[in-house]
Structures are given as structure tokens and as C-alpha cells.
Structure 1
Amino acid sequence: MANWSGGILTAAGQALQAKVEAGTKLELTKIKLGDGAENISDVGGLTDLVSPQAVLGISSVTAKDKLCTVTGIILTSNVATGFYAREWGIFAKDGDRDILYMIAIDPNPDYVPSSDAALKVSATYAMNIAVSNAANIACTIDPSGLINAEMLAQAAGLVQRNTAYEQGDIRYDPQLFRHDWYLECETAGTTGSAILDLSNATLGSKVTDGTVVWIIKRIATQDEIYFELDDQGDIMPKLAQ
């Protein structure tokens, strides 16, 4: 079972971090996995993994409570030779250079099988980076990178099961009767494991979902104007009801 150490900044990463704290934007570019066996004391002087085996495009970056979670996904069908994932590195831009920013080490590594293995699988690798300002983080999202179901749901704003939400959070559910209705969290909590039954939902009604209470609202402007299609298919503004 994987047991990654906390991320350790390289010397170049520490120099970049000092710039970030002074206001420079941190631009993350890619992730690498390797099977090298460096010690934590060796990390400072590294400019690359000791034995890089796979490059992962960044699939997503999310920030919350001063933690930035960077995620990459690897498909074993793209791995030429199987390896034990002992080292995990995040790269970042520093001027016109791409530097090894941070490394994590796993003394009990998982095996990443090659493409000729009977079972083809994918694995998700994520690292948390402490940040003082989430708005000061940028990343290069790989357009050919993979996403998982959770990333897709987050991107679409869909409500997820067994997930914590705060008051005021807005989510959507494809079972809502109208496309211009949405769910707003009125009572913070964690959603339940069962899919919501919204077949009888009405505008303004409240829905208990685990310990979360949602209220059903309608998309409208701040001055209570909403828009819908008329019989001819034209968009018409109307007062919100």
C-alpha cells in the first residue's frame, strides 16, 4: 500500500517558493513518477527524479483551506515497462526554466504494471501543497490528460455522494424537473450515500440529503430577472417567480 512522505521542496523549489510568497504566481506544469531510491536528505540538490519512468499531465488542481491539491492520472496501457513508484515529483515554471519543485518518496511503493499486463488499470496520484493564497496558483492542464468521475462531476457542478458542503454552495442534479433549477446548500453537512429522489421536487422546497439541507432555487440575475425560451425559441427575460 502506498505511503507517500509529505512533499519536500528541492533547492530550486525553495527559491521559487520565496518568489511566490513575494507575489509571483506558482505555475505547475507536470508530474513525474519514478523508481529511484533517493533519501530525503538528497532531495535538495535534485533537478529531476533519480529514475523517472512516467510523465503525467496535470488533470486537475483544486484549492481549499490554503491547500492546493494537484492530481494526475496514469494508464498502465501507456507504461512500457512496469516499475515500483518510489518517487513522485511536481514540476513548475521559474522564469523560462521548468524546475523540479517538490518530491515525495514512498518507502513502501505500489507496483505500476506495464502495458502487456493482462489487467489494464488506471491510478490517480495527488499531492497537497500548502499555499497562502489560492489565487496565486496556476497550472498547465494537459488537454490530453485523463479525468475521473469525481473530477467530471466537480467540473459540471453536480452534487456528489458522501461529500461535505458548506452553506451557500451551489450544485446541480440531472433529476431536477427543470433545467434552470439548482440546489443551494442551506444547512452545511455531508451528503448521503443514496441518490436523491427529486421526482416531486418543487421550486423553493427543501431536500434533506444526509446531514445537508438543500433548497431548490431558480437561476436568475441579482435583480430577479430570469431567462427562458418562448414558443418561437427566442430567449425572453421575465420576472423570477
Structure 2
Amino acid sequence: MAEYGFFIPSAGRTLIAGLLAGETLEISRVMVGSGKPQSQEDLASLTDLVAPVAQATSTNPLRKGDSVEMVVEYRSDLNGGLSTGFWLNEFGIFAMDGDDEVMIYYGCLGDFPQWVSAYNDGAIDIRRYPVSINVSTDVQVIITYPALAFMTADDVEQFCMTTILPQFLVEAQELIDEHDADADAHPAIHTEMDGLDARLTLLELMYSTDVSGNPFTITFQNLDGVTVEGVHNAAQGRIEF
């Protein structure tokens, strides 16, 4: 009797443990099959599925600290469509070790296989299996096949929060910094500040100047009763030469 479980075979464990900082774990393919090991002792020495049936797909790997999470998915519409149904009882994830390919992850449904129906137009049979692999945070994990797995609402939310949101925040901050450094940004605020500065300067002039005659004040907000030379800048309340 083989129990339901997920395992990292010896060859896969050796590859993952031997990766150095800055290296890449290149996941090459995902397979599903109908077999199961005869015993728990056989699991460690597995190099392939017991009875391979078809190539599957997955989501893009998502990093969570030392863990890389992905969802293995098999659909009856993949690879031209499944012509004959089968009992899905195992899946394996393969990665490149130089020029060689090794199975780094094996999942078995034990005595509880799932029937996958043959593909019919409009009727797709889908099986999904979450996977978590522990690797160093300095190791990049990529897949070399298209990530064709359907995304559920939960998948989309997780992808947006862990991948899209950080990128959006970085780009938004860059736009904010660029905007803040632009001397022409917020013209209305600059105009208001210039007006306040002019009024403050006028108050300082009025109360800091010793006047012995008849005082009068010209602000150049308008030119009523005033004859001047130059260009009247009404927005700034000044005469320009």
C-alpha cells in the first residue's frame, strides 16, 4: 500500500542542496501518470514516474522566503486533448542538472487516484496540486515551459499582492519623486505661494519703513489710477521689464 504524499527523491534533493547563491533552478517539465511505488522505500530512488501518461503544466513559481510555491495542473485539453481517460495517481516535477534532467519532486495519491475524463469540446477535466519547494533565497527558480495553468480568483489575488503590487509601488514612487523634483509641478500652489510671499513682503515693507509723508500703497494687482512702464503680470501682481 502506497500512502498519499509528496516527496523529494534523492537526485532532486542533491540538486537542490547543491545550488549555490546566484544560481538558477531550471524546472523543465511536469508530468502526470497512473502508477504508484510499491513501497515507501522505493520513493527515495525514483528517477521518473512509475507509469507516465501525459505532460502537465503549472503556474509561475512564487517566492515566499525560502519556499517557492506553484500549482501543478493537468487538464484534459492540454497537448491536443486527452483521447482516453485515465486514473491520475502520480505527478513529477523535473529540472535540469547541467545537460541531465532529474525529478526533483514527486507526488502520489496512493490508493486514492482521481479519474480524468477524455477531452470533449466544452468539457475540460482539471486536476490541481499545490507544491512547495524549499530553496535558498539566493537561488532563482524559473520554468522553461509556458505557465498555462488556469488562475483562480485566489491565484490572481496572490499574484497581484506578491508580484504586481511591489512593482506598482516602486514605479509609483519613481513617478512621485520625479513629480516632486519638477519645478513646474503644481502651478496653482506656486501661484498661491507667490501671492502669500508678495503679501508678506508688502506687510514687512509697510511696517518696517519709516514714512514721514502721506503713505500710499501700490500692489500692481491692477493698474487702476497708476501709470507705469513695462509689462503687467497680473497673475504675479508685478510689473516686468
TM-score of the pair, normalised by structure 2: 0.59
Q: CA–CA distance in 2 between the matches of 1:21 and 1:96? A: 18
- 1:104-126 C-alpha deviation (Å, 9 max, x unpaired): 21122221111149842333232
Is 2:39 the counterpart of 1:86?
no
Whether the 8 Å contact between 2:26 and 2:144 is mirrored in structure 1 is no
Match in the other structure for 1:138: 141
Amino acid at match of 1:221: E
Whether the 8 Å contact between 1:59 and 1:142 is mirrored in structure 2 is no
How far is the alpha carbon of 1:52 from its aligned partner? 0.8
Q: 4+ residue stretches of structure 1 with deviation over 6 A?
A: none
- Runs of 5+ unmatched residues, structure 1: 160-164, 173-181, 185-217, 228-236
- Distance 1:137-1:144 versus aligned 2 partners, 3 A rule: closer
- 1:114-161 C-alpha deviation (Å, 9 max, x unpaired): 11498423332321112232x413222523723314445555x3x6xx
Whether the 8 Å contact between 1:32 and 1:55 is mirrored in structure 2 is yes
Whether the 8 Å contact between 2:23 and 2:140 is mirrored in structure 1 is no
Whose helix proportion is higher, 1 or 2?
A: 2
Q: How does 1:37-52 map to 2 (within 5 A)?
A: 37-38=36-37, 39-52=39-52
Is 2:58 the counterpart of 1:58?
yes
Whether the 8 Å contact between 1:73 and 1:125 is mirrored in structure 2 is yes
RMSD across aligned positions (CA): 3.6
Amino acid at match of 2:86: F
Q: How many residues are matched?
A: 175
Q: CA–CA distance in 2 between the matches of 1:14 and 1:61? A: 18
Whether the 8 Å contact between 2:56 and 2:75 is mirrored in structure 1 is no
Amino acid at match of 1:15: T
Whose strand proportion is higher, 1 or 2?
A: 1
Task: Select the structure with the greater relative contact order (CA < 8 A; seq sep ≥ 6).
Answer: 2
Q: CA–CA distance in 1 between the matches of 2:116 and 2:172? A: 46
Match in the other structure for 1:219: 172
Whether the 8 Å contact between 1:88 and 1:104 is mirrored in structure 2 is yes
Identity %: 22
Q: CA–CA distance in 1 between the matches of 2:174 and 2:21? A: 38
TM-score of the pair, normalised by structure 1: 0.59
- Runs of 5+ unmatched residues, structure 2: 190-241
Amino acid at match of 2:5: S
Q: How does 1:187-202 map to 2 (within 5 A)?
A: none
Whether the 8 Å contact between 1:225 and 1:238 is mirrored in structure 2 is no
- SS, match of residue 17 in structure 1: helix
